[in-house]
Every structure is written in structure tokens, then in C-alpha cells.
Structure 1
Amino acid sequence: MAGSIAAHTFRPRDLVGGHVVLDLVNTVTARDAQRVDWLDGYPRLLEWAALTGEFDTADLGALRQLAEAAPDEAASALERARELREALHALVTALIRQDAADAPDAAGAPERFEGHWKRAATAARFTLHGNTPQLRAGVEASGLDFLAHELALRAWDLLRSLPLERTRVCPGQRCGWVFVDSSRGGRRRWCDMATCGNSAKGRTHYRRTRTGDTDPQPPTR
């Protein structure tokens, strides 16, 4: 993935995808410009995972200990999580555009995701969550790949049921985040009105009142 890697403290406003898998995809910002990867290390991945509230704190604590004991292995696990993220981004955006079979940026994405899913499924256990059969990853079997494995398994469920008519790519400047519109009217355009939405409104107002001047820079997340 071309672009840069930058430290970022994750905040609740970074979780706008409507699903933890889409929030993983959105750990890269400015996909429509100079991409910036916010996962600058394995501890940052754990920070993000804790913020989502989707993972057991004991599991995250165990991963933190494993990462501290084996930093090189943690770095390799982080790279695999990034590879999963990029395969998912290519798949989801191609599905949104309805050109999954032909999109150049999706070339090889199904096979890449399949590889991640198969590794996750091999390490997973079959469980019943209420009356729902599930494959669930565990730290004991997956080790430092636990988050990538669990997210790959959840991504399979998401991709099969993704509401494409309500799944969108934010058109905001230096954004490109993916989100599911859960609003009643289904007319949500921006990932977050407080950032991209208000920024776009501000630029429009500025152009109307200061024609010919340089647009102000949109606020950073």
C-alpha cells in the first residue's frame, strides 16, 4: 500500500463504519489522496481493538504480553492484519461500485482474502452463540494473529450480508472511508457530519463568498 504511516490516537469518532470490519478498513485515512496508515505498530492495533469494544479485555491483555515478549513476531502479525485490511477494502469498494469482477484495484483480492479466511478457519473453533453456529478465533490457537483471524471470520459474515444499497464511500476531502448508512431515510452521505460534512459545507460557503481565493484546508481527524 503506497502512502505513509503515522501515529494516531484512536478516538470514538474514528469508529463510523457501522461494523468492526469496516472500522478496520478505515484505519487508513485519505485513501482518495495521500494515504495515511494509522496502525504504526502492534500496540496501536491493540489500542484500536480495545476502543471498538468488540474484543475481550483478557484476550487483548494476553496479546499485549505476547507482543512484548516477541516484538518481531508482533510486527509480522501486524503486517498480516494490514494485508487483510487492504484485501477487504478492495473487495468492499468493488462491491459498492458493482464491478467486483473487473475492478483493477480488486485484482487478486478474493484470493488474498480467501487465504486469510482459511488460515483463520483452521485455527478457529466451532461454537454456538445462542442459537447461532459460529467459528470463533482464540488467542491460544491464533497467538498474535488473533485479531486478524477473528476479523477475517467476521468479514466473511459481513461480505455475505452487506447491504450494498446502504454501503458507501465518503466523498470528503482526504477521506475515502467506508460506512453503512443506518439512518432512517438512508440518505447519509458523509462518514461523519462533524468532520467531512461540515468541512464540505464550509468549503462551499467559502467559495460562494470568496470566489477566486484558495480553499481552506479541511480539519484533520
Structure 2
Amino acid sequence: MANGLANGTSERTKNRTFELVGGHPALDLVNTLDWRFRDSGPEELMTDYGDMVRFAEQSGLMSNAQARRLIRNTSETKAAQVVAAVRGLREAAAQVLYAALEDDVAPASAVAQSESCFKAAQKAQRLHWTGARLAWELPQSASLPELPLWLLSLSAAELMTSDEMERVRACGNAECRWLFLDTSKNHTRRWCDMKICGNRMKARRFKAQHRA
């Protein structure tokens, strides 16, 4: 379609696979700004609307068919607006979550932005009869490019207002610090992924010991 993203979506975007190690979509969303604490600067993994939709799909928030329709039917202008809004949600969530980890007070601006995103998503919900009861649901139309934003906002609201916040941890790699839910038996998980940062940090310690 002339107004859609299909023709401008690269193979990289179509095949983008996210490392979903957080145990919750809101934590994995924060992790889409990779190497957040690296001196040389972070790496943006959510580079465009296609990436954002694929992330929502891989996180289990929408179907593959929904993702394809959104990418095909969303204009580039609207797509850019939604990506900016999702990144805003992500950074507000990051400030709140890292503040909680450090027993600090979350910035008022981050709380206000989170509240704005949460309220907008809640306002978009409609009551739906399931056959046995009423349930709040978001409209699933492909003409609603904000759907990924709303889904991610509701997911973040669910986590950040729950007791699950007590299990949020950050990777022990100071440059990484990806967030995850510690569901280990003794609550001793240290790394976002043992194959990635765990092995990397073990190798770093090994080299340091042998240099000494």
C-alpha cells in the first residue's frame, strides 16, 4: 500500500528477534535500549515501527496476523509518532524501575508520563461479552496503529502496580543491567542471561586473575 510500511520494511526488521530474558514484557521493553549504562553509549534495538510491532508480537501481546496488518496499514508519519510514544513509555518505566532497585524515589516526571500512558490505554479499552462475563479489551482493528503502545502500557501498569516489583532485578554486568524477574528458587539470579553476561563476566574475572 502506498501509505503503509510494507514496502519500506527491511528484511532486518522482518526477521528481528529480541532477547526476551526479562520474564515480563515491561522489563523486556526497557531492555530494548541495550547497553544503557555503557560509557560509549547505548544501542537502540527498537529502531522503527516494524521492530516495535515485532517486539509486541514476540512478547505474546499480539498475533502474527495483527502485526502484519499493522505494518501494512500504518503510515510512516503515524508510525514515527507511535514509536516515539513507546520509547517515552520505555524511558519513564526505566526511571521508575531502576529507582525502585536502588531504593530511591522515582522522578515525578517519570511517574507522570507513566500515568499518562496508562490512562490513555485504559481509556481505549471497551467492555466485551465473553459468553460468560464482561471483560475489558482493547479494540483489535488494524486501523489502530496505537495498539502496540496501549498493549505495552497496560502490561507496564500491571507490573509496576503489583507485588511482582519486589522480584525485579538488574543484571550484574554494570554496563548491561538488563532487567528481569528473579524467579529462581533462592532468589539468587545474577545475570540477564548466563550464556551472555554470565559467561562474559566469568571470562573477564579469569583474565584478571591470571594477569595478577
How far is the alpha carbon of 1:114 from its aligned partner? Answer: 0.9
Which residue does the alignment assign to 2:51? 44
Going from structure 1 to structure 2, the CA distance change for 1:132 and 1:207 (only over 3 Å counts) comes to: farther
Q: What CA deviation, in whole Å up to 9, does each residue of 1:173-206 have, x standing for no partner? A: 5312111011112100111111111111100000
Counterparts of 2:103 and 2:133 in 1: how far apart (Å)? 30
How far is the alpha carbon of 1:163 from its aligned partner? Answer: 2.8
How far is the alpha carbon of 1:129 from its aligned partner? Answer: 7.5
Which residue does the alignment assign to 2:31? 26
Runs in 1 of length 4+ with deviation above 6 angstroms? 128-133
Length-normalised TM-score, structure 1: 0.80
Whether 2:90 is the aligned partner of 1:62: answer no
Whether 2:17 is the aligned partner of 1:11: answer yes
Counterparts of 1:141 and 1:204 in 2: how far apart (Å)? 50
Contact conserved, 2:70 with 2:145, CA < 8 A, in 1?
Answer: yes
Counterparts of 2:20 and 2:116 in 1: how far apart (Å)? 26
Specify the SS of the correspondent of 1:143: coil
Specify the SS of the correspondent of 1:168: strand
Match of 1:53 among 35, 46, 60: 60
Which residue does the alignment assign to 2:179? 178
Which residue does the alignment assign to 2:83? 78
Alignment of 1:1-221 (within 5 A): 10-11=16-17, 14-33=19-38, 34-67=41-74, 70-101=75-106, 106-127=107-128, 135-140=136-141, 143-211=144-212
Structure 1 unaligned spans of 5+: 1-6, 212-221
Counterparts of 1:130 and 1:96 in 2: how far apart (Å)? 42
Counterparts of 2:21 and 2:103 in 1: how far apart (Å)? 22
Contact conserved, 1:29 with 1:174, CA < 8 A, in 2?
Answer: no
Task: Name the stretch that deviates more: 159-168 or 87-96.
Answer: 159-168
Going from structure 1 to structure 2, the CA distance change for 1:182 and 1:123 (only over 3 Å counts) comes to: same
Specify the SS of the correspondent of 1:140: coil
Structure 2 unaligned spans of 5+: 1-11
How far is the alpha carbon of 1:155 from its aligned partner? Answer: 1.5
Q: Which amino acid aligns with 1:138?
A: P
Q: What CA deviation, in whole Å up to 9, does each residue of 1:58-95 have, x standing for no partner? A: 3212211222xx11111111111111111111111112
Q: What is the number of residues matched between the two proteins?
A: 198
Q: Which amino acid aligns with 1:78?
A: V
TM-align CA RMSD: 2.5
**Aligned sequence identity (%):** 32
Counterparts of 2:22 and 2:31 in 1: how far apart (Å)? 7
